[in-house]
A and B are shown apart, each in its own frame.
Chain A
Amino acid sequence: MHVLYQTWPWYISGFGIGMILLILIWFGKTFGMSSNLRSLCSIAGAGKFVPFFNFDWRAQRWNLAVVLGTMLGGFVAVHFMSDPTNVDINPKTIELLGQYGIDAPNGKLLPDALFSADALQSPKTVFILVIGGVLIGFGSRYAGGCTSGHAITGLSNLQLPSLKAVIGFFVGGLIMTHLILPLIFNK
């Protein structure tokens, strides 16, 4: 039983994610998480101001149901299926994080230095989280998809545009991790 509480191996997890993609295709839908952000903007009334949001989001309700499911899944996995061996990352990574003043995982999914209630007292942390979100939202809509839509679905379907987008994801990620994060966390 406890093997379920430990970190799931990459080959099982990857296979599971691939199967979710195939099941959604079998349901007659396309796997993609970021399009829900557009739906949420439309539900909030953005269509009155910007034509891009004036679309039939009701046709996307199935995807919002997927989102609801992911939230429930996250709740169950975190509260009932976790144990202290989780997030056993490379000791070299932990050492590097230490230099940035970021706490080691010790079983946690997220660093307290960025996500704890205490950290949110600092305007800098809130700014980091909001700007991170803005880049994610803007970038995924500009590129027409995120990790699920391009990296998983697009590459599975041998789409050249998705390959360009995924190369972009990694270029951006490497620039952030190696050039910008050291500036942000430099004490």
Chain B
Amino acid sequence: MKDLRTGPPGELHEPGLALHVEDLTVSYHGRPVLWDIDLDVPPGVMAAIVGPNGAGKSTLIKSVLELVPATAGHVRLFGKPYAAQRRRIAYVPQRTSVDWDFPTTALDVVMMGRYGHLGWVRRPGAADRDRALGALEEVGIADLAGRQISQLSGGQQQRVFLARALVQDADLYFLDEPMAGVDATTERAIVRLLKGLRDRGKTVIVVHHDLQTVREYFDWIVILNVRVIAQGPVHEAYTADHLRQAYGGQISLLRGIDEGAVPVAGEAEAPAR
């Protein structure tokens, strides 16, 4: 896929943006999953990608990470294609994407996050091990380092994946539904950690499914439904109108948002969780 507008390879294109997506179209069996996406995420924000089921949220991340081929368009991360920026980017896939019955320990999975920095053949050493233990500490499950991964709860599995991303020492983090199916304590811990990354100048981009918590957790929003419906700072772009455009008839989902759409943060009618 060659795009003349981006100039010769190696030249920086939109280096001031953590993520720059232009004219991206992805189709699956001839059906467009993402259509003509133009998207910019500045560095140092914590961004949510929201949208109804089938909106292409996961596909957008996978396409940015070159896991899914694009039909058209291009992606730049800090000004360069993904292949040139791998070491600056960490990815937390959906928890259910792997078989947790694999014979290994939590610590070992976290160490896999170091593999990209190690390169071929070289084995992780004591420094990598310390780094992994530190990451497990950060996600609050240092005591489970030696635990067989099949014996971890859903929330603990998610924390292990998060720790694996932490040891990648990235500048940009992509997370695919990290809060799906985890307990409230884990969700709070994950959010605190991600906000911590953001506060250290990292960029965090999260596929998120819970509209009720967007205002509380995020400062940047991308509302997606095959096309980009809206993007920008949460206080500007996260409006009931945009959500209605994205979610169409699923209005019941939006009830809490309507009240929250007034500039006050949506605490007024926090639904029972």
- Is the A/B pair a real complex? no
Listed in ascending order, the chain A residues whose CB lies under 8 Å from chain B are: none
